Structure 1
Amino acid sequence: MSKSHLYIDLYKNLKTQIIEGQYKSGDKFPSKRALGQHLSVSNTTIEHAYQFLLDEGYIYSKPRSGYFVSDIETLPIINRKTQFNTDEYLSSQNNNHDAYYKYAFNLSEIDTDYFPIQQFRKYARDAFEINQLQLLQHANPKGEWSLRQEIAHYLFNSRGVSCHPEQIIIGSSTEQLINLLTDILNKAQFFIENPSYPPIKQVLEKRQIPYMQVPVNQTGLELNYLKTANHNIAYVTPSHQFPTGYVMNLKKRTQLITWAHECDNRYIIEDDYDSEFRYFGKPIPALQSLDTKDKVIYISTFSKSLFPSCRIAYLVLPKKLLSQYNNLAHKEGNTVPAHLQKIVASFMESGSFERHLNKMRKLYRRKLKFIIEALKPYEDQLEIEGALAGMHFNLTVKNGLSIKECLKNAEMNKLKITPFNQYDATQQSVKFILGFGGIPFSELEAHTNALIDSLCV
């Protein structure tokens, strides 16, 4: 379109925005000079467009004050169907499918009632003080040094993981760090668990990286499968496998490390999922703490130990892979806000993080114990698996009810539960994966009763 018609396009766009409710009655319009500079058009173009809006009553002018939006309810030419109804939108957002449920065993939720929000708020204020102006600059792609230092201390004390802060890289999610690892581990071929944590499979497929799925049993990965192919990277979740909840035993951990030691290009990626929460038996050390030849890449997040929206994950690179990271032609800038990293670092340095973890570990253990005790009278109908650690467990229904019947009963009881076959399509048994972390203790009995009413006969 020629420049002589720019004012018509501008007039139509502004008119549409007013009709759709992007401007409200009484809102001040940008000055002609400001809008002209913003759009890189002449004042004459702006004047013509505004004059059209004035003539049709969409805007009005006040002397020495500028232009304002008219009361659009009085404009009969507006087609009300084209207006964007904010109230209707918010209502539809709140009135989603989940709103139907009164009870829900959702995954990846925490108990927010016990989060030390006052302490966290204090460290947030500190992070924005005047002496923290360096946080406004470009961040180190590896992450803030103070946070990496605290993570190194925490991993050594809690998981026996020995590392230097220089080996730690901060990211916004496990997926982002897996993407980074596929760049570092150039031309790698993966073994992944079957069933597995969904994002690892999605990343590998998106990047067209070969992988082989290896079955998981109650003691962990079935290691004999690793001898059947030349793949060189094993991605495992040994502390609390997702979605089965199984914990890899010590024997398999040492065998897996031995497999990695046999070839120079072999590595293990240890996703230490849910490692903070082990409720029964002795803690099992991290794979990285058992490794003597720098063959384990360690990954974890703060999504369960702090809160899901924290969006801080981290990996520990073996020293021999640091040079490959440093030599990458392109490194993505760190996507975690520097101030949030500083807040978490201060929270850890003060000892608040460890105290919070200890408190939540006891709370989640009480919740899990409550559910297990409540289900005990129905052990001939319900089988619990994967309840040694973490914030989810699996429940197999053995009384003859089908998946459809269970879900129908659950819907009648306004209960939301997730079938296990959403994560493992080959699953034949009637099985559900249940998260309990986000259920307030005061509501736990009602949730458990709804579960029993839905799955038992």
Structure 2
Amino acid sequence: MSKNHLYVNLYETLKQQIIEGQYKSEDKFPSKRALGQHLSVSNTTIEHAYQLLLDEGYIYSKPRSGYFVSDIETLPIIPTNINHAHQIFSSNENFHNPKPDYDLAFNMSEIDTEYFPMKQFRKYAKDAFEDDELDLLLHASFKGEISLRQEIAHYLFNSRGVTCHPEQIIIGSSTEQLINLLTDILSNGKFLIENPSYPPIKQVLDKKQITYLQVPVSHTGIEIDYFQKSNNNIAYVTPSHQFPTGYVMSLKKRTQLINWAQQSEGRYIIEDDYDSEFRYFGKPIPALQSLDTKDKVIYISTFSKSLFPSCRIAYLVLPNKLLSTYNQLNNKEGNTVPAHTQKIVANFMKSGSFERHLNKMRNVYRHKLTTILNALMPYQSQLKIDGALAGMHFTLTVKNSLTMKQCLENAKKNKLKIIPFSQYDNNQNSAKFILGFGGIPISQLKEHTDALIKSLIV
């Protein structure tokens, strides 16, 4: 636990003791020195905690006499469940969430925070709160801060070949929020989505009772043949690193998909390019939008993997034909990303720090993936690896005699958390797993991989 937060825990604990009646009105509070010695913390920590209690009226001071508890009946009481001070300070474990059953995990949503350029990012955060940035205190544009949309437009052109104007870009707090917006823009849309697919797309469509058809995915991408048998007109795909299989859509299928969209006025493709920054083997594959000549591709992506998940910035690029529809929407949701956060990211990108960070992380994640794959190579007769060309996850199918249940039981014995692929595909009965490696520290790669091998190999 950070020392900067220690005083907050102490304040919360003492406040709760007052609320629960362990201290009565007019009781004398311990001196700062005495409590500091008892808890083995600095006087500064005690002073900060006492000051918060003073500010909120839980205690008051008497000159040369010390601190005393206020009349409890006059205080706004909000019961909470907080441990006593001696319990909190007796063990560091009390500062954290309950310890999980596992020590090792191939989590999907985590990134490696060790290499994040916090010093540079902090500088841009400070700049965003300077006196000449008062406009950021006002309501942000519905589409998002223009400075960020400009930087995204430059970045997409240079990295993915996506051609767009900043006016075509809309900022949102998540892919799910932007999908929800798209269903309003494409109000008559009937969707074709991948099977298995990214869960939020299905959740949004189910919630809004929008018609959709689930189309199987093969090693080369979504099966285009199904499109011709359907009257559905909106295709949602993850071509650069299909979620959850990890497959990369072939150039042939990309061309077929674009041709399908161009055959009818009302057809559109939503291209979710969620972790396209990270491709480790082979030549980079261009975005679908860069191959489109008739404004048929809606491009969508996020900073969750390229920066950090709590950044909460996603964005979409609308074809010009749909911009007027967006502008005419009634009751559009206001932009939910804080203007200061948008400004910070815009400056981070403009300085070149974002590109340097991506280059560094591409090497870090390539090293992690290669290390894991090399360790698994001797067991390729028992394990089948898919989707490891790009992104921050791959799939692993167990080909020996172990069942899913046995694999999970073995993993539990080895204190390892692995995610069954069946969480994303109800038709998956074999022992198949989806493994995220981004958040595993390099120093723990061997430990994780050894536990994985012990759990899945006979």
Same fold per superposition (TM over 0.5): yes
1:87 aligns with 2:83: yes
TM-score in terms of structure 1 length = 0.83
Q: Look up the SS of the partner of 2:100 in the other structure.
A: helix
Equivalent position amino acid for 2:100 in 1? A
Moved more, 17-26 or 131-140: 17-26
Indicate the residue corresponding to 2:290 in structure 1. Answer: 289
Deviations 1:193-248 (A, max 9, x none): 00000000000000010000000000000011111111110000000011000000
1:112 aligns with 2:113: yes
CA distance, structure 1, for counterparts of residue 407 and residue 436 of structure 2: 17
Cα deviation for residue 23 of structure 1 reads 11
Indicate the residue corresponding to 1:162 in structure 2. Answer: 163
CA distance, structure 2, for counterparts of residue 22 and residue 245 of structure 1: 57
Cα deviation for residue 399 of structure 1 reads 0.9
CA distance, structure 2, for counterparts of residue 22 and residue 401 of structure 1: 56
Equivalent position amino acid for 2:311 in 1? C
Cα deviation for residue 429 of structure 1 reads 1.5
Residues 1:22 and 1:234: Cα distance change in structure 2 (over 3 Å): farther
Indicate the residue corresponding to 1:41 in structure 2. Answer: none
Equivalent position amino acid for 2:199 in 1? P
Residues 1:84 and 1:344: Cα distance change in structure 2 (over 3 Å): closer
> Is contact 1:241-1:273 (8 Å) kept?
no
> Is contact 2:142-2:335 (8 Å) kept?
yes
The runs of 4+ residues in structure 1 deviating greater than 2 Å are 16-27, 59-63, 68-72, 82-85, 87-96
Cα deviation for residue 25 of structure 1 reads 7.0
Cα deviation for residue 415 of structure 1 reads 0.4
Residues 1:399 and 1:299: Cα distance change in structure 2 (over 3 Å): same
> Is contact 2:271-2:298 (8 Å) kept?
yes
Indicate the residue corresponding to 2:235 in structure 1. Answer: 234
Indicate the residue corresponding to 2:353 in structure 1. Answer: 352
Moved more, 162-171 or 326-335: 326-335
CA distance, structure 1, for counterparts of residue 169 and residue 23 of structure 2: 48
Q: How does 1:50-449 map to 2 (within 5 A)?
A: 70=70, 84-87=80-83, 94-96=96-98, 99-449=100-450
Equivalent position amino acid for 1:284 in 2? I
Indicate the residue corresponding to 1:8 in structure 2. Answer: none
CA distance, structure 2, for counterparts of residue 84 and residue 310 of structure 1: 29
Equivalent position amino acid for 2:388 in 1? A
Deviations 1:261-298 (A, max 9, x none): 01000000000021000000001100000000000000
Cα deviation for residue 69 of structure 1 reads 5.1
Q: Look up the SS of the partner of 2:192 in the other structure.
A: strand
Deviations 1:144-171 (A, max 9, x none): 0000000000000000000000000000
Structure 1 unaligned residues grouped into runs of 5+: 1-15, 28-58, 76-81
Equivalent position amino acid for 2:129 in 1? F
Equivalent position amino acid for 1:420 in 2? F
Cα deviation for residue 26 of structure 1 reads 7.7
CA distance, structure 2, for counterparts of residue 62 and residue 307 of structure 1: 44
> Is contact 2:299-2:318 (8 Å) kept?
yes
Structural RMSD (CA): 2.8
CA distance, structure 1, for counterparts of residue 59 and residue 80 of structure 2: 22
CA distance, structure 2, for counterparts of residue 225 and residue 437 of structure 1: 34
Q: Which has the larger radius of gyration?
A: 1
Residues 1:310 and 1:26: Cα distance change in structure 2 (over 3 Å): farther
> Is contact 1:21-1:83 (8 Å) kept?
no
Cα deviation for residue 334 of structure 1 reads 0.3
Residues 1:152 and 1:20: Cα distance change in structure 2 (over 3 Å): farther
Cα deviation for residue 331 of structure 1 reads 1.0
Q: Look up the SS of the partner of 1:445 in the other structure.
A: helix
CA distance, structure 1, for counterparts of residue 60 and residue 371 of structure 2: 68
- How many positions carry a matched residue from both structures? 401
Equivalent position amino acid for 2:430 in 1? S
Structure 2 unaligned residues grouped into runs of 5+: 1-15, 28-57, 63-67
Equivalent position amino acid for 1:410 in 2? A
CA distance, structure 2, for counterparts of residue 145 and residue 422 of structure 1: 39
Equivalent position amino acid for 2:228 in 1? K
CA distance, structure 2, for counterparts of residue 382 and residue 21 of structure 1: 60
Cα deviation for residue 84 of structure 1 reads 3.7
Q: Look up the SS of the partner of 1:99 in the other structure.
A: coil
